[in-house]
Amino acid sequence: GMVEECDSMKLFSHRVYTASGCKAATIGIEDGRIVSVIEGVRSADAVDYGEMRIIPGIFDTHNHGTSGFDLMDTGGGFAERKEVVRGYLKGLAAQGTVNIFPTVSDPEGIRAVAEVARETVDGANVLGIHSEGPWLSRVGEKGVRTPWPEVSVDAARELVEAGGGMLRLMALAPEIPGIDEVIDYLLGAGVTVAAAHSDNTYEAARAAYGRGISVATHTGNVMTDMHHRDIGGLGAALTDPRVMCEVICDGMHICNDMLGIYFRIKDYGHFMMISDCTALSGAEPGVYDGGGLCEELHVTNDGFVLTETGRLMGSSQPVLFGIGNLVNNVGVSLETCLEMACLNPAIMYGFADRKGTIEPGKDADLVVIDDGYHALATYACGRKVYDRAIDGRVFNDAYLSAHRKKDETA
């Protein structure tokens, strides 16, 4: 592997995105932490990244898979699921994602993530686990309504216990009958609760936030839209100051004009950039089987992942791609994007003392990116866990060949 157990190292770039702006600087690292950021100086013994930008490690709190590694695939045995988690963490590092809430909603999948989180893996740091569901309601455009499992506190407790303290976030539809008891249990167990896949009116959504729900899952997607007589779940998420809004910024799930409206309604401090990626992130265009979720999935030439009915089914692009989209097409500064992608989730989930910015005292979670917003090198707690020159493309081709049906005919 690439594990370089070195106690201290230095990195230099002409464009380091420090906590106080973009500067030429040498970053000093010891025992996995940043000990110094010396501006205007290139130390002779520093790894020199030249004009390549160094940004804080991205923290993605909503991501189901990547690079042919599928957290939601319940087909294999437990050892196999743990092996998938390890590959997934490496795939994330290759996409510039250093900190992660793996998103999985069955007890065994949660247990597999929790066990791997205690290992030293060449890949992203697992900071917690996110369960999207199992209690979801709205299907959104072009969808077919499916029933939700029986609502029970025991089922919620099983998921919490499977995580062994690592389940940090659960997304559910607040209008499902009987769910209030589950919400109260989760909040009492220290789990953040998010509103997701919901048919709520504005008033009902506001009531849910009043009960203690504090996150809006992939704001805008599978939510009641803004209408001029009821601004719906989307309006509630964007106007309620108690709510942190997850936002997919690939320009496909939410059009760029609407992203611009979001950021005019609510300040950047209330958004967390997420990917909502699936195992098909990074896959070639084509038709793949739906892995039990649906008959088939189409990865289009543009990078959409669609069901056979044309419904969006997860994303194919990492947060780093979304950052490029916001900078290039929405006019958001890179500094602001890094707040939404790295710092805001760290603040929201209680990691800001160690994560989210490049400054002394923080973990050395760093990504070297090119101007096309691709990761060239990734450091997690001071360990280089991805190097494009050595690792190249990280992909589980066995998954693709098993799931691929045919080429997409454009």
Domains along the sequence of the chain with CATH: 8-56+358-391 (2.30.40.10), 58-348 (3.20.20.140)
Q: pLDDT tens digit string along 201-243?
A: 999 999 999 999 999 999 988 888 999 999 999 999 999 999 9
Average pLDDT, the chain: 93
Q: pLDDT tens digit string along 81-103?
A: 999 999 999 999 999 999 999 99
- Return the pLDDT at 142: 58
- Return the pLDDT at 139: 63
Alpha-carbon distance of 26 to 29, in angstroms, equals 10
Mean pLDDT of 243-257: 96
Please indicate whether residue 290 or residue 175 has the higher confidence score (pLDDT): 175
- Return the pLDDT at 76: 86
- Return the pLDDT at 360: 98
- Return the pLDDT at 402: 87
Mean pLDDT of 355-375: 98
Residue 197 has pLDDT above 90, yes or no: no
Is the omega angle on the peptide bond into residue 360 within 30 degrees of 0, that is, cis?
Answer: no
Alpha-carbon distance of 247 to 266, in angstroms, equals 12
Nearest CA to 275 out of 215, 318, 246, 312 is that of: 318
Q: pLDDT tens digit string along 264-289?
A: 999 999 999 999 998 988 888 899 88
**Token pair of 96 as six digits:** 């510039």
Q: Where are the beta strands (DSSP E) in 82-234?
A: 97-102, 125-126, 129-132, 167-172, 192-195, 215-216
Of all residues in the chain, the percent with pLDDT exceeding 70 is 95
Q: pLDDT tens digit string along 325-342?
A: 999 999 999 999 999 999
Of all residues in the chain, the percent with pLDDT exceeding 90 is 79
- Return the pLDDT at 410: 43
Tell me whether residue 308 is exposed, middle or buried, using C-beta atoms within 10 angstroms of its C-beta: 0 to 12, 13 to 18, 19 or more.
Answer: middle
Alpha-carbon distance of 291 to 377, in angstroms, equals 32
Residue 106 has pLDDT above 60, yes or no: yes
- Return the pLDDT at 291: 67
- Return the pLDDT at 3: 52
Alpha-carbon distance of 191 to 201, in angstroms, equals 25
Alpha-carbon distance of 143 to 145, in angstroms, equals 6
Residue 408 has pLDDT above 90, yes or no: no
Residue 251 has pLDDT above 70, yes or no: yes
Residue 101, helix vs strand vs coil: strand
- Return the pLDDT at 222: 81
Q: How confident is the model at residue 304 (pLDDT cuts 50, 70, 90)?
A: confident
If you ran DSSP here, which 8-state letter would residue 44 be given? Answer: T
With beta carbons less than 8 A apart as the criterion, state whether 262 and 238 touch.
yes
Q: How confident is the model at residue 5 (pLDDT cuts 50, 70, 90)?
A: low
